[in-house]
Structure 1
Amino acid sequence: MTEREARERSGLLSVLRYDVTVDLRDLDAPRSTTKVVFDGKRAGATFAEARDAGRDLRVPVAVAVGTQAREYTRSLTYDIGGSGLCRVVDEADGSVYVYAASGPTAAPHWFTCFDQPDLKAETSVRVESPPGWVVAGTGMGEAAAAVVPTYATGFVAGPFATETVREDGLGVVLHAVRSRAPVLEGVAPGLARVVAEVVAEIGERLGCPAPRKGGELRIAFVPGLAWPAMETAGCVMVRDSLLVAPGSSGYARLVSVLAHEIAHLWFGNLVTIGWWDDLWLQEALADVVGRTALRATPAGRPYAGAEARRVHSPVTLDRHRPALTAADALASAASHHYSAGVRQVQDWMRALGEKEWWARLARVVSEGPLLDAGALAPPERRSTAGADRWEELQRAVAACEIDGPTALGVLLSLLGHERDADRLAGMTTWFAERLRRAGWTRPAGGREAERLVAEALREVVARAPDGSRLAATATYAWVSTAAAPPVRSLLGGLDGGRSAGPLAWAARNRLAALGELGRRGIVAAGDETGAEVATCLAFLPDAGEKERAWERLFAPGLSDPATLAGMAAGLWHADHPEHVTGLVARFRHETAARTDPCSEPRAVALARFAFPRSVLTADAFTSVGELLGEGRLRPASRAAVRECAAELAWGVRFRSQWMNLDAV
């Protein structure tokens, strides 16, 4: 499958759920039944993947609009390379074990699916096995309904020995072949302690607990696995040859491998690559995050320097005994690729600073569900001089050393050469929130400044690669600064003006702010109680709508930060200060009481978003100062208001100094 085919399929459907049943009651004739539920975005044709007798198959799938289901039943054959469906024999006692290890592109070997990493779905696997067997895997027990990619789906089944240790509220369940039971018993307490500490450390650093916190984390030591370990959702698989007693030479390697796989609970299962060419990033992040967690935890620190070198299993895969499988060779070659990836991630960390890098990583995890290297890499600067000009511009404006038109000229020059999407977003946000708001006292001057910025952004869109983040960022920024006719034309081209997508709503917000779209047109475009309509109404240049928008900020059910920020952007639009002057008094007298019942994070957010930042007058600053002096705000909210007041004071000072020089 090519990346283009994968993108076409993602545009055609989204997968909601897989229910997979594997019948192992007759070990010589395994079968699987897969029910897949998906949502068709539009009518079309695609295919699901399967593998039969060593042949890769494309199963035709007709897609209609809406939710639909398909069911596939097939006979299975065992793989001998340590991925797919495998049957292994423990040479020590002849016991048979079966496992399904998907890995990249191997899921279709044992269940029919849409096998690409970005089509994640709730997945449940059920195994019908011989009596007395232990079974663990995806969607079993407390891991049910996990949303995972197909390559992280799998199970283990067999007469495993099991040790369960509870550490800090986490049940660590360890499985190994029966012949290794004495080693498993000896290793379980110390290994469980390392696992629990690493899980807690990573969760704390990312601000996101492990998916199974308070439940169980299962780890199975599997004979003949193609990789040292695999982050199978519901049961991490580790090659059984890595299971060694504490104090032995290989124990540090075992701990290092487990830390890497635990990190995959976040980078792999929770946040996933969009396509296979980013697999290096996922593995590098797991390596860096896992090792960092080991260094930070008492139980893991002694083993933080170990490398997860790849080894081979001594057991027989079915009746075969390969010295080195093709999968092992590929994994060994990939380890060099991953090492380069680790160096790349470490370079990013050094360039950004550890604190900023971890903050970016936490945002990636919280925003998910796909992993984007652009969100973690530092901005690429064309030259140090260019970077210095941007920093110098911000400093000069903050110090009131140059006026709005002069600052605009420098900004236009920088926009004309910018190639990094993040820096471009920073520049346009700075223009809207600082320079545009304070730089011109007359609306005509501000509109002309917007026209010039829009022209510069149009040039950025024209030269940016199609589909790139730079093109998308510049397009949205252009919409927020362009005049009404081209914005109306853009909206008309989006499904005849009926589109409910984010770009269409950005266009409506702009038209509303310009007075070119009224309440009736806004409400007709969407759900009157929805966030998009509420945000767009806040952009209207009308005192009554501004009052209603201010009230909506405090609505109990409104907690999404992005929605709050969007409404505030409309409410405090730079061209509408005369419509919100009455809200200065309301902020002064009502904010403390309205935020007092809220949680602290929500209270802080409301204090920032309800602050009258577009009313750049000495009277507004005095009113806010009176609120701060009363002591009725909670400490965190008072700090937020104080920061906003400092920005307001700067705006008043900037305008006072340059008020006679605001013509473009």
Structure 2
Amino acid sequence: MPSLNHVEASARGASITVESYQVDLDLTDPGDRFRSASVIRFRATPGAETFVDVKPVTLRSARLNGRELDPAGLTDGRLPLTGLAADNTLTVDAEMGYSNTGEGLHRFVDPADGETYLYAMSFLDEAPRIFAAFDQPDLKAPVTLSVTAPPHWLVAANGEVAATPRPGRWEFAPTQPLATYFVSLIAGPWHVRRDTHDGIPLGLWCRRSLAEHLDADLDEIFTITKQCLDRFHRLFVERYPFGKYDQAFVPEFNAAAMENPGLVTLRDDYLFRSAVTDTQRELRATTIAHEMAHQWFGDLVTMSWWDDLWLNESFAEYLGTRVTAEATRFARAWTTFAMRRKAWGYAADQRPSTHPVAPQEVADAAQALLNFDGISYAKGASALRQLVAWLGDDAFLAGLNAHFAAHRFGNATLADLLDSLGKASGRDLTDWAERWLRRPQVNTLRTEAVVDAGGRWAEVAVRQTAVEAYPVLRPHRIGVGRYAPDGTAHRFEVDLDPDADGGRTVLAELAGVPADALLLPNDGDLTFAKVRLDPASAALVPTLLPSLADPLARALLWREALDAATDGERPVPGLVDLIATALPAETEVIIAEDVLTLSRSLVDRYLDAPTRQAALARLADACARLLASAPAGGSLQLAGARGLIGASTDAGLLAGWLAGDGVPAGLAVDTELRWAVLRRLVVLGAAGEPEVAAELARDNSAAGAERAAYCRAALPDAGAKRAAWEIVTRTTELSNRLVEAAAEGFWQPEQAELTGPYVERYFAEMPGAARLRTAWVAERVAALAFPRYAVAQPTREAAAALLARDDLTAGLRRAVTDADDDLRRALVARTAMAATVAA
């Protein structure tokens, strides 16, 4: 079906005003369909014509102002509406299909107990799979929903329950004006816990088989929710504007969460079945805060079109991290942001598919979907943090509050926001916005130091550079940290003028200071820029890193080392040396986890087989030392255990853990850790289908089914690979999560010979496979199924040939473009290492 484009949306938005939606759903049919009846009241320019979006299995009838419309006129999800009056009533009766892709009205049967659960995901343009709608963000209207469901089910929606006139019949109060992509509901035999805070009814929902896991963390989740509400109410004049605040943990969700007003949906992976690290708990907290921030940015004030989606995601990312750090026990959320979220942003911004935070034009909804990436989230949030450092927090918040007041329950653009911020701060933000929001790619900040004969700095400067294709330099307010071997630290802030001296800023504060310390640009992580240390500082990292007290400074130094290896500026074995030296002393779990995860990715792709084996042995040894020194039963111990499992080639050790032998004191080999061990044993050829089936029998759950799908795809067996490839490229009966698990497990560095024939098959078959699936799922599967370990020039040539075609879906083109760029980097690194060895 064609994606709604901006020209069409603008024309429709200019000709009609939607006054209300009345939607009645019948969910009682046990089959694969449900009944949807919609009544839309709207005003229009008399005599105008437009179309309504509806994507049914069967369009039963449609009436416009009492006039029957021909259902045969429905084409590509659009029903033409002609001869409009000043005031119009459209009724649409349709049979809709349930989905298994996490979009539309998703239907899930829980393998644990056979119960059926439904949830609605209207984002980005999937509302017409549930009800007829004018599906674009600037046509907001109140929604009144009614649902008929099996009598033993519970139903929740955006609005409050207004009445339950009989068992199985649910009627909800009209909502505040909503964009159609926010309309949601859940239905099924849900488990629910309720509370109230500051006059706001709170609810937490999950399926019954996860009830014990929700209840175990009930106090923590409610506490975080209340703390975040209180903090937002202190930041914003406008209180939470949508009545109740339900949060539903739903199965097989595509995203982390969705900010539906009154009924936030979150992936139920956030209900922990096994021991987790504090990083995972913090991620749940920041997700709760992120979705709550959306109640103002996105829900109360909604972007006019998808080119301003950053007004949703960048603000929610920034405020979600900020409020988590300020209001909850996770005070170091900015360290996690620096370590994990910005790594995502830096990677996205350097790829060929990069785009501005706020593009001048997003042609259609399909293109908008591609922009929900590390740029719209992490880079945009970083730009906002930089803006706060530049404007000051008081002016920033005053501008936001003025923005909410001016556009309450309406729509706004970048220009509207800049106007509010400019008036509040007294500054012209035009140039700032042009450099930061309208131009893509990332700057690099390098320290340059000259030492005099007495061992003091004669001059220290920070030089800002940009890549040739995107030569924009930006204003940066940064911290500069000076970390001495004796443990003393000093930090000061400086403004980098992009127009002065070719991007070079001299740090007068350091002239004449003893040059015996490590200099860290962007200390405090106030800006979005890659950093590179001067050679003397880089040489001090292995000595100073383990003893630095500030976890954010350690995170930034690790990021610098990882980034330099990723760019091929330093060899990966050197990074492994640093890990062997410094990681066992790390005390911040997010740093330990992400250093291991990111370095493992580099080891697997940047090193040839013999060098990789040696590097894995050193990583495993570092993990074993971290595991041995970490407090028993804590997050660091679990992080060390996971790292050891992933890097180890000692099948005997891993099999012993499964049997309960040799397990470190305090480490629980619980459900999730058992799956992690089995996954590694499968890859090593030390476990097979019987062991996978036995583990699935122990864990008869949706999560267990996903873990088993990964393991079966990872089996070093030709038949298993054929079966997995069939799932990835042809099967549509399985849910999104099971297909993604098979795609992720298929390629393994240890199985290059076995999977070699599938490299060509990926490029030949993926275009057809992508057309079988919805855009969101297709892009995800294409990315996971890419032959990422086939690091060779022929792979890149095959990618180039595929990208030369003109019949690719936008998501497949994006996935292959990005994955090919990762291969390019890996080849550059391998070539450089080969040259070094030869020399």
Contact 1:165 1:188 in 2 (8 A): no
Query: Counterpart of 1:152?
Result: 182
Matches within 5 A, 1:521-560: none
Work out the CA distance in 1 between the residues paired with 2:387 and 2:197.
34
Pick from 19, 23, 32 the counterpart of residue 22 of structure 2.
Answer: 19
Query: Counterpart of 1:626?
Result: none
Contact 1:125 1:140 in 2 (8 A): no
Contact 2:57 2:94 in 1 (8 A): no
SS at match of 1:52: coil
Cα displacement (A) at 1:295: 2.2
Cα displacement (A) at 1:234: 2.6
Q: Select between 264-273 and 369-378 the one with higher mean Cα deviation.
A: 369-378
Contact 1:167 1:192 in 2 (8 A): no
SS at match of 2:249: strand
Query: Counterpart of 2:413?
Result: 372
Query: Counterpart of 1:61?
Result: 81
1:226 aligns with 2:254: yes
Return closer, same or farther for 1:382/1:203 CA change in 2, 3 Å cut-off: closer
1:359 aligns with 2:398: yes
Cα displacement (A) at 1:190: 1.8
SS at match of 1:208: coil
Contact 1:101 1:154 in 2 (8 A): yes
Q: Select between 334-343 and 195-204 the one with higher mean Cα deviation.
A: 334-343
1:216 aligns with 2:244: yes
CA deviation digits over 1:177-212, x for unaligned, max 9? 101101111212221121122122213312000014
Matches within 5 A, 1:19-418: 19-28=22-31, 29-53=33-57, 56-62=76-82, 64-141=84-161, 144-212=174-242, 215-244=243-272, 248-249=276-277, 250-299=280-329, 301=331, 305-306=335-336, 334-368=373-407, 369-377=410-418, 379-380=428-429
Cα displacement (A) at 1:293: 1.8
Query: Counterpart of 2:10?
Result: 7
Query: Counterpart of 1:441?
Result: none
- Equivalenced residue count is 364
Matches within 5 A, 1:390-539: none
Cα displacement (A) at 1:296: 2.3
2:48 is aligned with what amino acid? Answer: G
Work out the CA distance in 2 between the residues paired with 1:234 and 1:381.
36
Contact 1:200 1:210 in 2 (8 A): no
Query: Counterpart of 1:432?
Result: none
Work out the CA distance in 1 between the residues paired with 2:267 and 2:325.
24
Cα displacement (A) at 1:299: 4.8
1:253 is aligned with what amino acid? Answer: L
SS at match of 1:114: coil
Work out the CA distance in 1 between the residues paired with 2:254 and 2:431.
43
Return closer, same or farther for 1:207/1:185 CA change in 2, 3 Å cut-off: same
Work out the CA distance in 2 between the residues paired with 1:210 and 1:336.
28
Work out the CA distance in 2 between the residues paired with 1:114 and 1:19.
13
Cα displacement (A) at 1:246: 10
Work out the CA distance in 2 between the residues paired with 1:185 and 1:194.
15
Work out the CA distance in 1 between the residues paired with 2:390 and 2:175.
39
SS at match of 1:115: coil
SS at match of 1:25: coil
Cα displacement (A) at 1:364: 1.1
- Higher Cα Rg, which structure: 1
Work out the CA distance in 1 between the residues paired with 2:308 and 2:288.
22
Work out the CA distance in 2 between the residues paired with 1:363 and 1:247.
44
**Deviating 4+ runs (over 4 angstroms):** 302-309, 329-333, 380-383
Query: Counterpart of 1:510?
Result: none
Contact 1:20 1:111 in 2 (8 A): yes
- TM-score (normalizing by structure 2): 0.41
Return closer, same or farther for 1:277/1:121 CA change in 2, 3 Å cut-off: same
Cα displacement (A) at 1:332: 9.8
Contact 1:13 1:40 in 2 (8 A): yes
Contact 1:124 1:138 in 2 (8 A): no
Cα displacement (A) at 1:53: 4.4
Cα displacement (A) at 1:149: 0.2
Return closer, same or farther for 1:351/1:20 CA change in 2, 3 Å cut-off: same
Contact 1:194 1:300 in 2 (8 A): no
Work out the CA distance in 2 between the residues paired with 1:330 and 1:119.
19
Work out the CA distance in 2 between the residues paired with 1:100 and 1:179.
20
Unaligned runs of 5+ in 1: 310-326, 384-664
CA deviation digits over 1:215-256, x for unaligned, max 9? 531110000112110111231000111222797322211111
Cα displacement (A) at 1:64: 3.3
Return closer, same or farther for 1:222/1:357 CA change in 2, 3 Å cut-off: same
Contact 2:206 2:249 in 1 (8 A): yes
Work out the CA distance in 2 between the residues paired with 1:376 and 1:273.
10
Contact 1:31 1:74 in 2 (8 A): yes
Query: Counterpart of 2:764?
Result: none
Contact 1:226 1:331 in 2 (8 A): no
Contact 2:37 2:91 in 1 (8 A): yes
Query: Counterpart of 1:657?
Result: none
SS at match of 1:100: strand
Cα displacement (A) at 1:171: 2.5
Identity %: 30
Return closer, same or farther for 1:216/1:52 CA change in 2, 3 Å cut-off: closer
Work out the CA distance in 1 between the residues paired with 2:178 and 2:323.
23
Unaligned runs of 5+ in 2: 59-74, 163-172, 342-365, 423-427, 433-839
Contact 2:18 2:40 in 1 (8 A): yes
Return closer, same or farther for 1:299/1:38 CA change in 2, 3 Å cut-off: farther
Work out the CA distance in 1 between the residues paired with 2:250 and 2:111.
13
Work out the CA distance in 2 between the residues paired with 1:264 and 1:277.
17
How big is the alpha-carbon RMSD for the aligned residues of Structure 1 and Structure 2? 2.8
Work out the CA distance in 2 between the residues paired with 1:302 and 1:382.
32
